[in-house]
Amino acid sequence: MPHFLNTEDADFEDRFRALLSLKREDAPDVAASVADIVQDVRTRGDAALIDLTRKYDRFEVTPATLALSKAEIDAAVAKVPAAERQALQVAAERIRAYHERQKPANESWTDRSGAMLGWRWTAVSAAGLYVPGGLATYPSSVLMNAIPAQVAGVERLVMCVPTPDGLANPLVLLAAKLSGIETIYRIGGAQAIAALAYGTETIAPVDKITGPGNAYVAAAKRHVFGRVGIDNIAGPSEILVIADGDNDPDWIALDLLSQAEHDQSAQAILITTDPTFAELVVDAINQYLQVLERRDIARASWESNGAVILVQNLGEAAALADDIAAEHLELCVANPESLAGNITHAGAIFLGPWTPEAIGDYVAGPNHVLPTARSARFSSGLGVLDFMKRTTITRMTPGALADIGPAAETLAAAESLQAHGLSVAARLRRLNE
Amino acid sequence: MPHFLNTEDADFEDRFRALLSLKREDAPDVAASVADIVQDVRTRGDAALIDLTRKYDRFEVTPATLALSKAEIDAAVAKVPAAERQALQVAAERIRAYHERQKPANESWTDRSGAMLGWRWTAVSAAGLYVPGGLATYPSSVLMNAIPAQVAGVERLVMCVPTPDGLANPLVLLAAKLSGIETIYRIGGAQAIAALAYGTETIAPVDKITGPGNAYVAAAKRHVFGRVGIDNIAGPSEILVIADGDNDPDWIALDLLSQAEHDQSAQAILITTDPTFAELVVDAINQYLQVLERRDIARASWESNGAVILVQNLGEAAALADDIAAEHLELCVANPESLAGNITHAGAIFLGPWTPEAIGDYVAGPNHVLPTARSARFSSGLGVLDFMKRTTITRMTPGALADIGPAAETLAAAESLQAHGLSVAARLRRLNE
């Protein structure tokens, strides 16, 4: 049974808080093992990668075979059916077109004092993309991570994907090829993150690591944060659908289930003004839970974490949506733009009934790597800026320094930083000579 | 003795690598104590804050006095001398004017398929600024952290500053007042970070925490990362000056010393094409090291971490600068713009001899919270975007879904995510009815 809440119930506030703080994921604390693995890779380099890959992926690599050869990639890619190849190309093109628009502009101006001020954006030199092996190997995620890096102008883009028992997903390799990835290493887990951050004899270190992974990968990213840049730590997927009664219950049921089928820790929430519609959606979900291929996962997610919240009006819905700060927010109401204007926190918004969230997972164009677990309150989905950095620029003239230098001297003195003040004073003295 | 290197020396590459990997800071591993403190604050709330403040700051607070009262702030602020007040106002105005230009634009467009795509930027609702107590309480840092938040449109902006033995820095309080800080809590250390992240009976939790601090504060920020957003973990300050022989050695000496005087872990590096000029700078530094107020700190920094690197030409200098990826980069050469164009990685660039780095610490306008320890390879100084987040927006039409929906269905099938595909298929079926 999912959670049923009604804002008119006396205990609503308590039950809503309980829903928000539901501990959906019981992530084991693997920080200590991860620290050991990172240290092992830093100390022994390739030899550690070889041992750990034998242990965890039951696969024998050598320094020479850590990277997939061009022939291996081409052979695998050749197996991809034409329809899938074409669909991936459509996705890659649309994702690229969207992200091209995110490229930031450099700025430069001269202020009243005559100082030239501004900033410029440059790409990180090298980025590493982590792709999980096994069940959750998603070619779409390769595109979503790699294309923003490519658009940013990252010079060297590499990928790590574990190949348990030697198996690689051809569609993942094709996605890598379509998005400018230069080298693919068949390693995974914390050892792959360590190799990307610190480098080994064979693997050159990168400056930024992105991509999802299991608890070991997440802990390793947290561990190397600061040595390299990382993206957000990804949690289980979430969707919040706000729908009025004027919707097809079947569509909404499938939208909720398309998150629930990801993972039993995923969360799907429906907020509606219409109790009859809510019942129809729940009935439709129950029907699908009989037949879906991933029904066991979807049922576990829906019954533990799913929720239906009845509200009296869309104003209430907007306020709850801001508290939930959902990764995906679908607005199936008469005027979705207006409702969106009343909601501040969400990773991605899907407007109107013709915009199923799944279209954003693949081909709409916006990134599907989005903030989870209420982190949309303070962070954004992946984008071009994640692979760029801004350098500020200042050029003073003698006149500008004469104008604002004395204020700097005063503040330096107040902070007891004498050399700071003297570095300004020595120059101003020249002007008075 | 600082490090002297010459790119013509046979062992240059090794010595340069050694310089880059110099372990300047021996940060103690306090993760375990910090985890205990965070847990204590989460469990006991205000009571934990009161106990920890008594223990570490030798100061008795109550829930009612955790925040400084308006009267206390006004009384302290009234003590600030007029010159300092005016200098702080100049700084605040210039920092605000610079950061106003960083406000990002929302975008929205309709693509060929008829889909409406775009994104919008919104501010985080609440931000907490940490300000260290004791020696390194810098009013300028309050402005540099708070003004970008204020410009971003953060609704609730609070500050934590420990007041050891009850003492608060009036200029810090004035800086808070000038930059829109609503409430100032007199707590510090890991307990302050925990209170900002999780809240207590008295302190409402925030969404984003920024500001420098000691090893405990840094570890606490790493600990709460994900629950709230954090800025970069700040390391010791650094400057790289690239100067030709046509400079006043005194100016360059003072610029190098203005980093060295911060902290014995700070690093000042001079790269020059002119060996005679290098000697003159070193002589000038040695003179100042006799007389500077903070000479002991500056000497320790210069002798352990300082370096002079002789290069044969500015091309070599640019390549080394990219490897160093300095927090502050000063270019005192005939054509600094041209040299800057050949360097990719730096936190902030100061062009020409009339732009001492210290002007950027206070009044130039760009932010002085900048990436240290080579993290300019992948991260930016603090700015307005750190207090905002981007929500992507998609609105499909029936026609657009008919156009690109089939590709999404194909990819969903390839990823074995059936409900994803069905959520598109159910809508496309309606179009064919």
CB contact under 8 A, A87 and B414: yes
The answer for B 326-385 residues in CB contact with A (under 8 A) is: 336, 340, 344-367, 370-371, 373, 375-381, 383, 385
pLDDT band at A164 (very low <50, low <70, confident <90, very high): confident
In the structure, what pLDDT confidence band is assigned to residue A232 with cuts at 50, 70 and 90? confident
Contacts of B102 in chain A (CB under 8 A): 119
pLDDT class for B377, splitting at 50, 70, 90? very high
B171–A228 CB contact, under 8 Å: no
The residue from B99, B223, B328, B368 that is catalytic is: B328
Using a CB-CB distance cutoff of 8 angstroms, which residues of chain B are in contact with residue A395?
Answer: 336, 350-352, 354-355
**Lowest-confidence pick of A416-425, B128-137, B166-175, B349-358:** B128-137
A225 touches chain B (CB under 8 A): yes
Chain A contacts in chain B segment 258-287 (CB below 8 A)? 258, 260-262
Nearest CB partner across the interface for B394, out of A97, A119, A360: A360
Chosen from A169, A198, A297, A411 to mutate, greatest number of chain B CBs within 10 A: A411
Q: B215 at the A interface (CB within 8 A)?
A: no
Helix H, strand E, coil C: the string for B173-232 is HHHHHHCCCCEEECCCHHHHHHHHHHCCCCCCCCCEEECCCCHHHHHHHHHHECCEEECC
Of the listed ranges A69-83, B18-32, B192-206, the least confidently predicted one is B18-32
- Asked if B122's CB is within 8 angstroms of A419's CB, the reply is no
Q: Nearest-CA distance from B208 to chain A in Å?
A: 6
Known binding residue A237? Answer is yes
pLDDT of residue A136: 62
Task: Check A411 against B84: CB less than 8 A apart.
Answer: yes
**Residue B166: pLDDT band by 50, 70, 90 thresholds?**
confident
Search chain B and give the residue with CA nearest A87: B407
Could you tell me whether strands A388-395 and A116-123 are parallel, antiparallel, or unpaired per DSSP bridges? antiparallel
Say which of B327, B330, B357, B368 is annotated catalytic.
B327
Residue B354 to residues A113, A412, A416, B292, Cα–Cα distance (Å) = 13, 17, 22, 22
Q: Where do runs of H (alpha helix) occur along B59-154?
A: 70-78, 82-100, 139-152
| CB contact set of A49 (below 8 Å; sequence gap of 6+) | A41, A61, A66, A187, A191, A195, A200, A203
The answer to whether B312 contacts chain A (CB < 8 Å) is no
Q: Give dist(CA B352, CA B343) in Å, integer.
A: 15
Provide the shortest C-alpha distance from residue B124 to chain A (in Å).
Answer: 5
Q: B235-378, superfamily in CATH?
A: Nitrogenase molybdenum iron protein domain (3.40.50.1980)
The residue written with tokens 């109790």 in the block is A275
* B213: nearest Cα among B411, B348, B56, B425: B56
* pLDDT in the model for residue B137: 79
Kindly report, residue by residue over B128-151, the tens digit of the pLDDT. Answer: 999 988 656 799 999 999 999 999
State the nearest Cα–Cα gap between A339 and chain B, in angstroms.
13
For all residues of chain B together, what is the average pLDDT?
A: 95
Residue B142: what residue type? V
CB contact under 8 A, B408 and A226: no
**What mean pLDDT comes out for the span B178-202?**
96
For the segment A131-161, what is each residue's pLDDT rounded down to a tens digit? 988 656 799 999 999 999 999 999 999 999 9
CB contact under 8 A, A109 and B124: no
Contacts (Cβ under 8 Å, ≥6 apart) of A433:
none
pLDDT of residue A173: 95
Inter-chain touch B344–A116, beta carbons under 8 Å:
no
Mind listing the pLDDT tens digit for each residue in A241-281? 999 999 999 999 999 999 999 999 999 999 999 999 999 99
> Which residues of chain A have a CB within 8 Å of the CB of B347?
391-392
Q: CA nearest A20: which of A377, A383, A370?
A: A377
Whole-number pLDDT of residue A401: 98
Task: Name the residue among A119, A358, A414 with its Cβ closest to that of B171.
Answer: A414
C-beta atoms of A423 and B254 within 8 A: yes
Rounded CA-CA distance B68/B102 in Å is 32
Q: How many CB atoms lie within 10 A of CB B113?
A: 19
Question: Does the annotation place A74 within a ligand binding site?
Answer: no
Best interface-test mutation with A: which of B270, B422, B429 has the largest number of A CBs within 10 A? Answer: B422
Higher-pLDDT residue of B166 and B193 is B193
Going from N- to C-terminal start, the domains of chain A cover: 31-103+122-230, 235-378, 396-432
How much is the average pLDDT of A74-79? 94
Interface residue B427 vs chain A (CB under 8 A): yes
- pLDDT surpasses 80 at B70: yes
Mean of pLDDT values over B317-327 = 98
Closest partner CB to A390 (pick from B117, B383, B404): B383
Q: What is the per-residue pLDDT across A190-210, written as a single tens digit (0 to 9) for each?
A: 999 999 999 999 999 999 999
A328 among the known binding-site residues?
A: yes
DSSP A234: P
pLDDT(B24) > 80? no
B392 inside 8 A of chain A by CB:
yes
Least Cα separation, residue A165 to chain B (angstroms): 20
| Average pLDDT value over all residues in chain A | 95
* Residue of B174, B294, B423 for testing the chain A interface, max A β-carbons within 10 Å: B423
| Interface residue B84 vs chain A (CB under 8 A) | yes
Which residues of A are less than 8 Å from B298 in CB distance?
A: 419
Q: Which residue in chain A has the smallest CA separation from B81?
A: A414
Model pLDDT, residue A114: 97
What ipTM was reported for this prediction?
0.96
Question: Does A299 contact B at CB distance below 8 Å?
Answer: no
What value does the mean pLDDT take over residues A399-412?
Answer: 98
| Tens of pLDDT, residues A276-334 | 999 999 999 999 999 999 999 999 999 999 999 999 999 999 999 999 999 999 999 99
Q: Do B261 and A419 touch (CB under 8 A)?
A: yes
Identify which of B251, B361, B364 has the shortest CB distance to residue A426: B251
Contact B336 A395 (CB under 8 A): yes
Q: Do domains A31-103+122-230 and A235-378 have the same CATH topology?
A: yes
Which chain B residue has the Cα nearest residue A322? B125
DSSP state at residue B123: E
pLDDT of residue A135: 54
Stretch 165-184 of chain B: residues touching chain A, C-beta under 8 Å: 171
Q: Is the distance from CB of A229 to CB of A222 less than 8 angstroms?
A: no
Q: Pairing relation of β-strands B156-160 and B183-185?
A: parallel
pLDDT in tens, B237-276: 999 999 999 999 999 999 999 999 999 999 999 999 999 9
Nearest CA in chain A to B107: A101
Which of 3.30.70.270, 3.40.50.1980, 3.40.640.10, 3.10.20.310 is the CATH number of B31-104+125-230? 3.40.50.1980
B90 to A124: CB separation less than 8 angstroms, yes or no: no
Cβ pairs bridging A and B (under 8 Å): 367
At B136 the pLDDT is: 62
Listed range (A124-133, A160-169, B310-319) with the worst mean pLDDT:
A160-169
Is residue A21's pLDDT more than 90?
no
Residue A386 has pLDDT above 90, yes or no: yes
Closest CA to A128 of A197, A67, A36: A197
CATH code of the region A31-103+122-230: 3.40.50.1980
**Quick one: tokens of B420?**
């994803």
